[in-house]
Amino acid sequence: MAIIETNGLCYQYQDGSTGLVDVSLSFETGEFTVVAGANGSGKSTLLRHLNGLLLPGSGSVSVCGAAVQDDPARARQQVGMVFQDADSQIIGETVYADVAFGPENLGLSHDQIDERVQAALEAVALTGFDDKSPHHLSGGEKRRLAIAGVLAMTPQVLVMDEPFSNLDYRAARLVLTQILNLHRAGHTIIITTHDLEKVIGHAQRLIIMDRGRVVRDGSPAAIIEDVERFGIRPPCSIKFNQGILPWLS
């Protein structure tokens, strides 16, 4: 069953440059999708349409069958977005306050907020960090905090913009582990990246974007050979003719 659908989605930036051109996609419930493309290919712009942060110039986006334009707030609750820069996503002065920001906006009771915050922190292995200052966390911890902040709103879909950028090897492994756990728990995951190495072995679907258009869409194994011509570096295992190998064993 499709949880998100875009039809003929077009978007133009204020300076007149093209953001998206005729993007028609359908994301199934529980699917793990990677959207790849070079810088400026429209990946982040597409993500911002999925939860109503940007509204289409023409075409439409629907989440759970309802048009995003009609109720962006509902779409934002159902499609949680983790931004590329984790620092810019931090709002609270403590880890607890930051994760609680979303549930507070939903008008939940204090008990419900506490329950959701603890569950979200547990899901990303940050239990016990409640009173720490978010700005004093490591890069990987900040990224997991950003995911917790979104999880506390109990979204059905998690969209993540370059979730591994600026992370060292250990932190990237931890973040990827948490993402895979969330996928196993039933979340629909959509990740944008220009670095396929870490994530492609775990994804079920690969979408390639180029200059605002979807140029390839299918299983990773079917289209991975094509990625280099769109400015994306193929995983090392492909270069060495070993097929797609998972980054985490």
User: Residue 158: helix, strand or coil by DSSP?
Assistant: strand
Q: Does 102 bind another protein (CB under 8 A)?
A: yes
Q: Assess contact for 162 and 193: CB atoms under 8 A.
A: yes
CB-nearer residue toward another protein: 11 or 83? 83
Residue 132 neighbours by CB under 8 Å, 6+ apart: 94, 95
CB of 237 to another protein, least distance (A): 34
Give the nearer residue to another protein in terms of CB position, either 22 or 71. Answer: 71
Compute the C-alpha angle 84/17/196, nearest 5°: 35
- What is the C-alpha separation between 203 and 32, in angstroms, rounded? 5
> Given the complex with another protein, which of 124 and 150 has the nearer CB atom?
150
Q: Is 114 a binder of another protein (CB under 8 A)?
A: no
The single residue among 22, 71, 85, 217 that binds another protein, judged by CB under 8 A, is 85
Residue of the chain from 131, 169, 240, 249 that contacts another protein (CB under 8 A): 131
Using CA atoms, how far apart are residues 192 and 164, in angstroms rounded to an integer? 10
Give 55 or 222: the residue with its C-beta nearer to another protein. 55
CA distance 159 to 168: 21
What are 238's two structure tokens? 């492909």
Of 214, 215, 211, 230, the residue nearest 18 (C-alpha): 211
Rounded to 5 degrees, what are φ and ψ at 137?
-80, 160
Please report, as residue ranges, which positions from 132 to 151 form the binding site for another protein (by CB under 8 A). 133, 135-136, 149-150
- Shorter beta-carbon distance to another protein: residue 117 or 175: 117
CB 55 → another protein: shortest distance, Å?
12
Q: Which residues contact another protein by CB under 8 A? A: 51, 53, 73, 76-77, 80-81, 83, 85, 87-89, 91-94, 97, 101-110, 113, 131, 133, 135-136, 149-150, 153
